[in-house]
Amino acid sequence: MKKKTLFDKVWDSHVVLEVPNGPQVLYIDQHLIHEVTSPQAFAELEERSIPVFRPKQIVATADHNVATKNQHLPIVDDLARNQVEMLTKNCAKNGITLYGLGHQYQGIVHVIAPELGITQPGMTLVCGDSHTSTHGAFGSIAFGIGTSQVAQVFASQCLLLNKPKSLRVNVNGKLAKNVSPKDVILYIISKIGTNSGTGYFCEYAGNVFREMSMEGRMTVCNMSIEMGARGGMIAPDEITFDYIKGRKFAPVGEELLQKIEYWKTLPSDEDAVFDKEYHFDAADIAPMITYGTNPGMGIKITDNIPVVEDASFDKSLDYMGFKKGESLINKPINYVFIGSCTNSRIEDFRVVAQYIKGKQKAANVTALIVPGSQQVAKQIQDEGLTAVFEAAGFEIRQPGCSACLAMNDDKVPAGEYCVSTSNRNFEGRQGQGARTLLASPLVAAATAIEGKIIDISQQLN
């Protein structure tokens, strides 16, 4: 029998039918929606008089457009308020569970589904958001879709797709103590570029990922799309099962035992063949930072910006106000954002709190802490981290996507640099003219304390 990859096993078990010489119909177990990419899909179904086929397999939340201050008050921005209200109406009309503003489970869609136990190994999961790849950390096939596809899933719980090719990224060896999952994924993208994953589904393999927490695995899988891959997956194991057990929607008792037995069959067969494969040595990875306007433009924090002769590269450095060959160490930074679906889970904030405890942020810095969900916000409170952040002069906000894409008021001013734990450093991503440097929560914390970029590895050694 042909050896199968983790991806093959999950994909093949969800194929409903094949169009001759065409795509396959893939069944979707779980659909997540939010306020920005769903209204036009609901409208389309209504226009065509098609009912929502499986409302119980949809979960909604409001995250992209919400304010991170005074969430108990109506949203000030008319358009944003209308969009969030539209989501509420659409969910009520169609019998869809909504964890909206004010609900104890509200938060960034890619933070809440895992923490509620909705995301499970072996399932297919989609959302109108490219960072849906996050959920692949559980060994599920999870990917972002456009609004037309949101409508398709509403109408049929299925999508018409061509099976992507398979890619495996192996990282083995021992990571240095100060190297985080964010550094691992920024390193991988800096090495293979922003489009080498296009057309592929990626599996991350090797002891580095096996030894990572679920939070770390989610950070890695989250950024799969930044190398072009529709999704990223990590084989489920005891760490996965332990994370899921006891969560609100996790299976219990006999059902859990049965599911775990099934989940254990999912990892790629030993001799499974991938269409493309990369190997990296963990010892080569150091704390990373980006200097340009796509996530592939990353360097070790102590390296100099490379010298590349290319018009698009020049345009990018021009936007960032950096020069080829220069070092980023000691560059003054006035904004630090710690949040987003990449790094807003409790583990991220523990790292930050541990570093800044007893320290003060630099006077020039505005430092935002934006928890990924109401539950993370509660954990921050319960673990006593609030006091640490406040004492250090960090501002704690309420959950939402916030300054990752600056749809709300959380914007970085034009021309300013922001060291951000988010996933994209595109032009204007954090506000018109804003300049984003992507980094780990630890590097972001250190930047906030110093008011400039420092060599974190030296400091911790």
Site for another protein in 334-393 (CB under 8 A): none
Which lies closer to another protein via its Cβ, residue 70 or residue 195? Answer: 195
| Contacts (CB under 8 A) with another protein, residues 267-296 | 294
Strands 24-27 and 15-18 turn out to be: antiparallel
Q: How far is CA 139 from CA 89, 123, 203, 262, 307, in A?
A: 33, 8, 9, 12, 39
The dihedral formed by the CA atoms of 99, 103, 107 and 110, expressed in degrees to the nearest 10: -30
The binder of another protein chosen from 5, 106, 134, 149 (CB under 8 A): 149
Least CB distance from residue 457 to another protein, whole Å? 29
Return the bridge partners of 31, or none.
58, 126
Q: Is the dihedral of CA 432, 434, 437, 440 positive or negative?
A: negative
| Contacts (CB under 8 A) with another protein, residues 208-267 | 225, 228, 230, 249-251, 255, 262
Distance CA 252, CA 236 (A): 18
Which lies closer to another protein via its Cβ, residue 148 or residue 330? Answer: 148
Least CB distance from residue 177 to another protein, whole Å? 33
The binder of another protein chosen from 52, 67, 158, 218 (CB under 8 A): 158
* Among 13, 9, 32, 38, residue whose Cα is nearest residue 24: 13
Q: Does residue 199 bind another protein (CB under 8 A)?
A: yes
Q: Does residue 93 bind another protein (CB under 8 A)?
A: no
Question: What is the size of the binding site for another protein (CB under 8 A)?
Answer: 83
Contacts of 102 (CB under 8 A, 6+ apart): 71, 72
Per DSSP, helices labelled H in 13-132 are: 39-47, 78-94, 109-115
Contacts of 249 (CB under 8 A, 6+ apart): 116, 117, 118
Least CB distance from residue 355 to another protein, whole Å? 30
| From 73-81, 168-176, 363-371, 391-399, span contacting another protein (CB under 8 A) | 73-81
Which lies closer to another protein via its Cβ, residue 402 or residue 440? Answer: 402
The binder of another protein chosen from 6, 32, 159, 365 (CB under 8 A): 159
| From 51-59, 235-243, 350-358, 443-451, span contacting another protein (CB under 8 A) | 51-59
The binder of another protein chosen from 68, 120, 222, 224 (CB under 8 A): 120
* Among 151, 135, 154, 128, residue whose Cα is nearest residue 56: 154
| Contacts (CB under 8 A) with another protein, residues 1-30 | 13-14, 16-17, 19, 21-23, 25, 27, 29-30
Q: Does residue 432 bind another protein (CB under 8 A)?
A: yes
The binder of another protein chosen from 129, 203, 347, 455 (CB under 8 A): 129
Least CB distance from residue 432 to another protein, whole Å? 6
Which lies closer to another protein via its Cβ, residue 129 or residue 347? Answer: 129
* Among 226, 178, 179, residue whose Cα is nearest residue 202: 226
Rounded (10°) angle between helices 214-222 and 346-356 = 100
Which lies closer to another protein via its Cβ, residue 155 or residue 176? Answer: 155
The binder of another protein chosen from 91, 108, 123, 317 (CB under 8 A): 123
For 57, counting Cβ atoms within 10 Å of its Cβ (0-12 exposed, 13-18 middle, 19+ buried), the class is middle
| From 55-63, 276-284, 350-358, 364-372, span contacting another protein (CB under 8 A) | 55-63
Which lies closer to another protein via its Cβ, residue 12 or residue 390? Answer: 12
Helix, strand, coil shares, percent, the chain, to 5? 35, 20, 45
| Contacts (CB under 8 A) with another protein, residues 310-329 | 310-312, 315
The binder of another protein chosen from 102, 146, 306, 332 (CB under 8 A): 146
For 185, counting Cβ atoms within 10 Å of its Cβ (0-12 exposed, 13-18 middle, 19+ buried), the class is buried
Report helix, strand or coil for 438.
strand
Which lies closer to another protein via its Cβ, residue 114 or residue 287? Answer: 114
